[in-house]
Amino acid sequence: MGFNAFLERLIAGRWIAGADESDAITAALRFKRANINSIINYLGEEFTQMEEINSTVKKYIDLEAEIGKRRLGSDLSVKLTQLGMLVSRKACHRNLDLIVKRAKTAGIFVWIDMEEENIVDRTIEEYLTEASHGNVGICIQAYTLNSGEKLRRVVRAGGIVRLVKGAYPLSEDTFRTRREITRNYGRLMLYLFRNSKRFTIATHDIALVEKAIRYNIKYKKDVTYAMLNGVRNRYLKALAEKGYKTAVYLPFGEKWIDYSYRRLKEAGHATIILKSLFERQGV
């Protein structure tokens, strides 16, 4: 094994199911046995070449067929910049529409990932044109200052939300500290409990997960607790064993660098990174 392949396996192998669709399916089966649903994402973003965009769409369509055939029940998660948003909004719409309609036939739910600030509004608009299919949800990032407004817009339109803190660089449009972001996440989460029937709490922040569990004793909503593969798998498994609805975000593909870089930054502390790389994950 060359040094790059070694690094790839060491770093990316922690968070990523593997290079191929078959790796994602194998990992999804393993999680399914632990009663954890998978949200499968094909890695890659900011595509500008039609060839790459078209092959990505095909990848998702093939994946839908495989998930349907095996009755895996997994969700998909797509990024609009891998479906052509940066090249042609029309093409992006056509691609998303195709993926969502095929998914609906196969009984698959499709999430739209949220990316960098400059395409957030376009992403929400695109989502709202597809929401009526009923099998589509969108990610909302609590780190943006006006995330409350965005959340209300989506929820009022009957949308299904996956609430996250946000993974891209902070800017003047975002909160500055983790504390402020966490506080805003708490506010948005409460809004979801009060105003939405079904949503996903996507965080590894255990205090927030525990708060959500307490809220749901009162609100009794259809809540899924979701985490990224390789971060807190054991905790997720424990939640599933207690009977909570859980999901793991499971990326696969060769474009692992951007994704792994974001995860490394989040892990922050060198000792957390090392611990997280070598610790056994339990699922």
Interface contacts to ligand FAD, rule CB under 6 A: 113-114, 139, 141, 164-168, 178, 202-205, 226-228, 231, 249, 263, 266-267, 272, 276
Question: For residues 98 and 264, which CB has a smaller minimum distance to ligand FAD in the complex?
Answer: 264
3-state DSSP percent of the chain in helix, strand and coil, to 5: 55, 15, 30
Residue 25 or 267 having the CB closest to ligand FAD? 267
Q: Residue 72 or 114: which CB sits closer to ligand FAD?
A: 114
CB 135 to ligand FAD: min, Å:
17
Burial class (CB in 10 A: 0-12, 13-18, 19+), 240: buried
Cβ at position 247, least distance to ligand FAD in Å = 7
**In which residue are the tokens 């390789």 written?**
230
121 CB neighbour count, 10 Å cutoff: 11
Q: How far is the CB of 177 from ligand FAD (least distance, A)?
A: 11
Backbone φ/ψ region at 282: left (φ over 0), alpha (ψ -120 to 50), beta: left
Minimum distance, C-beta of residue 258 to ligand FAD, in the bound complex (Å): 12
Residue 112 CB-density burial (10 A; 0-12 exposed, 13-18 middle, 19+ buried): buried
Place of tokens 């909302």: 140
- Which of the 8 DSSP states describes residue 139? E
Give 90 or 265: the residue with its C-beta nearer to ligand FAD: 265
> Can you give the C-alpha Rg of the chain in angstroms?
18
Whether 253 and 5 have beta carbons less than 8 Å apart is answered as no
Tokens (6 digits) for 265: 């930054």
By beta-carbon proximity to ligand FAD, the closer residue of 5 and 270 is 270
Question: What is the number of other CB atoms lying within 10 angstroms of the CB of residue 253?
Answer: 22
**Closer of 215 and 249 to ligand FAD (Cβ):** 249
Nearest distance, CB of residue 69 and ligand FAD, angstroms:
25
- CB of 273: closest distance to ligand FAD in angstroms? 7
Intra-chain end-to-end CA distance of the chain, in Å? 26
Taking the C-alpha atoms of residue 183 and residue 194, their distance in angstroms, rounded to an integer, is 17
User: In the complex with ligand FAD, which residue's Cβ is closer, 147 or 276?
Assistant: 276
Smallest gap from residue 278 Cβ to ligand FAD (A): 12
